[in-house]
């Protein structure tokens, strides 16, 4: 079970690293000057590759997490585990929102300012903090 925990931590940390950097690429995309096609294309390529990689990392991260949850028994751990699973669902929603934003960028441009994307970039930090506190402190 310790190997599964270790793999879960590695994949989750890698997944979050991608989720930290992807919105930063969106900030840069929102700041691209009109007519800078090469720069825009390069940033879109980087974002596509990073999104694909983070999606590939999310699958084993979630699979090992499910394995751990089932290994401890469903319902065991009570409130903190259910709260952590709610945070995981929020992270999955954030990941999906990043994919939707990338499609919007590829279709024509930013719908929002670079400042909005800077704030959006801070959300995974709060989600990671919530997940770590729930796992370590187990307040419920």
Binding-site residue numbers for heme are 8, 84
Binding site membership: which residues?
8, 84
Q: How many residues does the chain have?
A: 140
Distance from C-alpha of 30 to C-alpha of 75, rounded to nearest angstrom = 44
What angle, 0 to 180 degrees and rounded to 10, lies between the N-to-C axes of helices 78-107 and 37-72? 160
- Which distant-in-sequence residues (6+ apart) come within 8 Å of 38 by Cβ? none
Distance from C-alpha of 59 to C-alpha of 78, rounded to nearest angstrom = 24
């Amino acid at each position: 079970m310790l190997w599964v925990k270790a793999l879960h931590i590695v994949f989750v940390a890698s997944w979050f690293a991608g989720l930290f950097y992807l919105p930063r690429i969106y900030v840069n995309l929102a700041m691209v000057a009109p007519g800078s096609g090469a720069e825009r294309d390069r940033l879109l390529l980087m974002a596509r590759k990073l999104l694909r990689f983070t999606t590939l990392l999310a699958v084993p991260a979630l699979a090992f997490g499910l394995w751990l949850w089932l290994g401890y028994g469903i319902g065991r751990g009570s409130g903190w585990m259910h709260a952590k699973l709610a945070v995981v669902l929020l992270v999955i929603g954030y990941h999906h929102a990043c994919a939707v934003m990338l499609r919007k960028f590829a279709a024509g441009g930013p719908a929002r300012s670079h400042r909005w994307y800077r704030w959006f970039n801070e959300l995974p930090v709060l989600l990671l903090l919530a997940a770590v506190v729930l796992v370590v402190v187990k307040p419920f």
